[in-house]
Amino acid sequence: MPKISDKATTMPASPIRKLVPFAEKAKKEGKKIYHLNIGQPDIETPEVMLNAIKNFPYKIVEYSHSAGIESYRRKLATYYSKFGINVTFEEIMITTGGSEAIEIAMMTCLNEGDEVLIPEPFYANYNGFSKQAGVIVKPVRSFIETGFALPAIEEFEKQITPKTKAIMICNPGNPTGYLYSKQELESLKNLVLKYDLYLFSDEVYREFCYDGKEYISVMHLKGIEQNTILLDSISKRYSACGARIGALICKNKEVMAGALKFAQARLSPPTFGQYAAEAAIDTPKEYFANVKKEYVARRDYVIERLNRMSGVFCPKPSGAFYCIASLPVDNSDNFCQWLLESFNYNNQTVMLAPASGFYSTPGAGEDEVRIAYVLNLDDLKNAMDCLEEALNKYPGSTKSKK
């Protein structure tokens, strides 16, 4: 029998989804599972977007331009202008989700064997995208004790080699919910200039910044316009994860020309998704105000409950809808599997994402989990009750050892 490729063999499985078989078995046994493991909001998709799909006016679902429907790109440019991001439609390429935007950016800008520096913990699939592109991830560690603030620039410089070609960030952050300050981004800008690097920035959670803190885009940074690539998606802001529409935005014409070649190879992004996304730009401001208010209430409840549990610590995130908590457990992978296989509380349990999958550094995050507070407050209350009870019963608890 022929062997599969080395890339397929070494491609990392998603730590967010690897526990799915255990969850499916638990459901078949009749357990109710509260899914806090994945960023799938329960927020309703805007009506204007759903109506656009229902009222699709054409009799043929055609390919679009490989860079995306021009009317959508033009309208999307007006959306970005409201955030002080001034781009033309030619500087926007529509992609099949934010995932493809990241993949194309890496393949366009980096050669096999090149290195990208990423503050960790980071969105687990960056590892997979890097593997596909033949790029090597060099993690720069941030820590729960500082709320996962940007590591000192000296820590980045320690990792720089002749193969280093890019830095990648997520702002606001997945999985930490950390929101980078202007000062932190300016320090990255200086590093980009010093070593002539690309700066990839995944900014899909810009609508979700809390406590009056300001969203700063890499596109706001002066002097590195040719180095910056903004990566985006409609999945989270419109609760439209299944539409699979993202965007790659860059002022560097050479980058955009190279990216278009990859876009042409996959023909076009989804037509229905683009049509819905163009309509979604007309979503009323009240929608976002209500969604943001809901996420703040969810965040505040979850963080307060977590930090009241014995042996648990969780910094308060300023953006997105995730947090990372350290738990008094011997191994979070084992604990998360145990929750599904061996635990129930009133025939309920909770599904979490082990944080080890969001680190590249061996052994990091072994007592941490990522929690996505994407459920309504009643469900979050039940989920936190389950978690607190589980921590009291888990055989691998470390509470007595502290």
CATH number at residue 304: 3.90.1150.10
Please state the length of the chain.
402
Residue 316 CA to residue 319 CA, distance in Å, equals: 9
Give domain status of residue 370, yes or no.
Answer: yes
Domain of 249 in residue numbering reads as: 47-280
Q: What CATH number should be reported for the domain holding residue 101?
A: 3.40.640.10
Query: Does residue 252 fall inside a structural domain?
Result: yes
Judge if 90 and 174 occupy the same domain: yes
Q: Which helix (H) or strand (E) holds 164?
A: strand 164-170
Same domain, 255 and 346: no
Residues of the chain with pLDDT under 50: 401-402
Q: Which of 245, 280, 315 is the last residue of a domain?
A: 280
Q: Are residues 136 and 220 in the same domain?
A: yes
Q: Is the same domain home to 133 and 90?
A: yes
Q: Does 271 share its domain with 374? A: no
Task: Name the token pair of 238.
Answer: 């419109």
145 and 25 belong to one structural domain? no
Last residue of some domain: 255, 280, 305? 280
Whether residue 307 is found in the same domain as residue 379: yes
350/340 Cα distance (integer angstroms): 7
Do 353 and 342 share a domain, yes or no? yes
Position 402 scores a pLDDT of 41
Q: Are residues 256 and 319 in the same domain?
A: no
Q: Are the C-beta atoms of residues 372 and 38 closer than 8 Å to each other?
A: yes
**Which helix H or strand E contains 253, and what residues bound it?**
helix 253-265
Residue 354 CA: distances (Å) to CA of 214, 332, 337, 365: 29, 5, 9, 8
Total domains in the fold of the chain: 2
**pLDDT for position 400:** 54
User: ω into residue 172 within 30 of 0, thus cis?
Assistant: yes
Checking DSSP bridges between strand 136-141 and strand 115-120, what pairing results, if any? parallel
pLDDT digits (tens, 9 = 90+) for 335-359: 999 999 999 999 999 999 999 999 9
Domain boundary among 228, 261, 280: 280
Q: Token match 């990648």: residue?
A: 168
β-pairing, 246-249 with 353-354? unpaired
Q: Which residues of 190-201 are buried (b: 16+ CB within 10 A; e: fewer)?
A: ebbeeeebbbbb
* Strand extents, DSSP E, 72-141: 92-95, 115-120, 136-141
- Does residue 172 sit in the same domain as residue 314? no
* Pairwise CA distance, residues 81 & 362, whole Å: 41
Residues 306, 318 within the same domain: yes
Q: Are 104 and 10 found together in one domain?
A: no
What pTM value is reported for the model?
A: 0.95
Residue 1 lies in a domain: no
Please give the structure tokens belonging to residue 395.
């055989």
DSSP 337-383: HHHHHT--BTTEEEE-EEGGGG--STTTTTTEEEEE--S-HHHHHHH
Does residue 15 belong to any structural domain of this protein? yes
Answer whether residue 308 is part of any domain: yes
